[in-house]
């Protein structure tokens, strides 16, 4: 599968390996909608230091999709979540006024069958 140049992704897919099938289906849907999706199974290069590559790609992505299945998050996924939070808080526009619709970042909750509903 052809991928965009490094660091040219709209969304980084973070998931536990047990949930790869539904996450890949979601990634395909997002890609069909025109988004440039980073999914490790599609984009990582076996001859590169993949932890550094993940960090570089995530810091340049516009968004991270944190996909949590029925088994919860794994330790590597928790690291990705922390990296996404660190990366987004370092951006200049992260702390701008979000009181108007134009300033809000879109957030979409996609419940999975088998997942617990958030309180």
Residue 8: C-alpha distances to residues 25, 39, 61, 100, 103 (Å): 21, 13, 7, 28, 22
Instruction: Quick: pLDDT tens for 28-38.
Output: 999 999 999 99
**Most confident region among 4-8, 23-27, 62-66, 103-107 by mean pLDDT:** 23-27
User: Region 61-68: what's the mean pLDDT?
Assistant: 88
End-to-end CA distance of the chain: 39
Helix 50-60 with 75-90: angle, nearest 10 deg: 40
Which pLDDT belongs to residue 82?
84
Domain ranges of the chain: 11-90
Taken in order 26, 91, 49, 66, is the CA torsion positive or negative? Answer: negative
Integer Cα distance of 87 and 74 in angstroms: 20
Which pLDDT belongs to residue 48?
78
Instruction: Quick: pLDDT tens for 10-20.
Output: 999 999 989 99
Confidence of residue 46 (pLDDT cuts 50, 70, 90): confident
Rg (CA), the chain: 15
Q: For the whole model, what pTM was predicted?
A: 0.68
Sheet holding 63-66, edge to edge: 37-38, 11-14, 63-66
Which pLDDT belongs to residue 49?
77
Which pLDDT belongs to residue 78?
87
Instruction: Quick: pLDDT tens for 77-116.
Output: 888 888 887 776 665 454 444 444 444 444 555 555 555 5
CB 114 within 8 A of CB 70: yes
Query: Bridge partners of 37?
Result: 11
Q: What does DSSP assign to residue 4?
A: P
């Amino acid at each position: 599968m052809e991928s965009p140049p490094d660091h040219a992704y709209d969304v980084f897919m973070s998931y536990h390996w047990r949930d790869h099938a539904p996450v890949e289906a979601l990634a395909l849907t997002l890609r069909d909608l025109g988004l440039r999706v980073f999914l490790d199974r599609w984009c990582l290069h076996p001859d590169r230091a993949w932890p550094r590559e993940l960090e570089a790609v995530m810091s340049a992505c516009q968004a991270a999709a944190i996909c949590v299945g029925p088994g919860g998050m794994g330790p590597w996924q928790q690291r990705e979540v922390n990296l996404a939070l660190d990366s987004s808080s370092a951006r200049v526009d992260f702390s701008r006024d979000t009181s108007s619709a134009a300033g809000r970042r879109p957030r979409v909750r996609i419940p999975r069958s088998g997942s617990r509903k958030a309180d």
